[in-house]
């Protein structure tokens, strides 16, 4: 055997030994629970939990920085499995939150100030005088929220409005961050009464540009339990910590207040009727 081969063999042995020693010295002990929890999590990596991804959330849970039910996408079963790994009890009183678009001013009831013929994106449209709707708070209906939703929970209606399906929504919050108008909010899924308007304009102006806008009449605030609906700069705002009787929706003169389940059925029926009329 040549001297060169022997030297290379010895060098390889020494380097290998050095790497082995370094690996042992600088090894980072990873808690096995992190991997187990990561496997249980949905793997959506949506960021709705406030962490970069599912693996980061798993690490936070193990370190006690996040709760076992911190994943907004995971079901109660997922939270129970994580709780079992962590050896803790799951309270079970957390109500799932889903997104809702606080605007019902579609093209049939809300006026426009000009015709927009640009990029099909709400953020881009909003750069041009706030968008084409006369109401500066209204949904632009170009689908930015639907584009970022990783769960296909948002439908863009032909009438120019975004609609969230609460059954498909996981409450990840991506649409909330993406909406340039800031009119999408996460609300408890068990709350049915909603004020579908975000306008802070005075009643007279609202009446001129939208048939279903809040005019600040305060009838709902007076009818609802104390503190359940408050007036904030001409707009009725729901306090979702307090349950509101469905009868409150009936006092709104502009039908701005809706009962979510019934409202979705009405919207679907209206869209189907429009489609059928256009097909004739």
Question: What does the pLDDT look like over 183-242, one tens digit per residue?
Answer: 999 999 999 999 999 999 999 999 999 999 999 999 999 999 999 999 999 999 999 999
Whether 122 and 239 map to the same domain: the answer is: yes
Whether 77 and 110 map to the same domain: the answer is: no
Identify the weakest region by mean pLDDT among 3-7, 30-34, 273-277.
Answer: 273-277
Q: Say which residue, 95 or 177, is predicted with more confidence.
A: 177
Question: What does the pLDDT look like over 58-70, one tens digit per residue?
Answer: 888 888 888 888 8
Whether 82 and 105 map to the same domain: the answer is: no
The answer to whether 109 touches 211, Cβ cutoff 8 Å, is: yes
Q: 164: domain range? A: 97-279
Crossing angle between the packed helical segments 76-86 and 54-62, to the nearest 10 degrees:
40
Provide the H-helix boundaries in 162-247.
174-178, 203-209, 219-223
Strands 257-259 and 229-232: unpaired
pLDDT of amino acid 1: 54
Whether 51 and 112 map to the same domain: the answer is: no
Whether 140 and 261 map to the same domain: the answer is: yes
Whether 49 and 108 map to the same domain: the answer is: no
Whether 77 and 153 map to the same domain: the answer is: no
pLDDT of amino acid 280: 35
- For residue 62, give the CATH number of its domain: 1.10.15.40
**What angle (nearest 5°) sits at the alpha carbon of residue 183, between those of residues 47 and 147?**
50
**3-state SS assignment for residue 194:** strand
pTM of the model: 0.73
pLDDT of amino acid 176: 94
The verdict on residue 16 lying in a domain is no
Last residue of a domain, one of 44, 64, 86: 86
How many folded domains does the chain comprise? 2
Q: Distances from the Cα of 38 to the Cαs of 60, 82, 95, 124, in angstroms?
A: 11, 9, 23, 37
Whether 255 and 131 map to the same domain: the answer is: yes
The verdict on residue 3 lying in a domain is no
Residue 191's contacts (CB-CB under 8 Å, 6 or more residues apart) are 238, 240, 243, 244, 260
Whether 162 and 76 map to the same domain: the answer is: no
Burial class (CB in 10 A: 0-12, 13-18, 19+), 280: exposed
């Amino acid at each position: 055997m040549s001297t060169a081969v022997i030297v290379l063999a010895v060098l390889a042995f020494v380097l290998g030994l050095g790497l082995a020693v370094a690996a042992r010295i600088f090894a980072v002990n990873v808690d096995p629970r992190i991997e187990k929890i990561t496997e249980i999590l949905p793997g959506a990596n949506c960021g709705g939990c406030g962490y970069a991804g599912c693996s980061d959330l798993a690490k936070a849970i193990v370190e006690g920085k996040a709760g076992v039910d911190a994943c907004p996408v995971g079901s109660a079963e997922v939270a129970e499995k994580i709780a079992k790994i962590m050896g803790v009890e799951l309270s079970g009183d957390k109500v799932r939150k889903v997104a809702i678009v606080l605007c019902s001013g579609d093209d049939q009831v809300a006026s426009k100030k000009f015709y927009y013929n640009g990029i099909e994106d709400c953020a881009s449209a909003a750069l041009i005088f706030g968008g084409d709707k006369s109401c500066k708070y209204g949904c632009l209906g170009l689908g930015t929220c639907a584009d970022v939703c990783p769960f296909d929970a948002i439908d863009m209606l032909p009438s120019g409005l975004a609609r969230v399906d609460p059954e498909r929504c996981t409450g990840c919050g991506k649409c909330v961050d993406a909406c340039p108008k800031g009119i999408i909010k996460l609300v408890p899924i068990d709350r049915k009464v909603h004020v579908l308007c975000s306008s802070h304009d005075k009643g007279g102006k609202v009446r001129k540009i939208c048939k279903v806008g809040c005019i600040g009449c305060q009838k709902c605030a007076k009818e609802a339990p104390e503190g359940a609906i408050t007036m904030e700069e001409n707009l009725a705002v729901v306090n979702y910590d307090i349950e509101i009787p469905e009868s409150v929706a009936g006092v709104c003169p502009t039908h701005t207040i809706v009962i979510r389940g019934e409202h979705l059925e009405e919207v679907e029926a209206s869209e189907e009727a429009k489609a059928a009329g256009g097909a004739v």
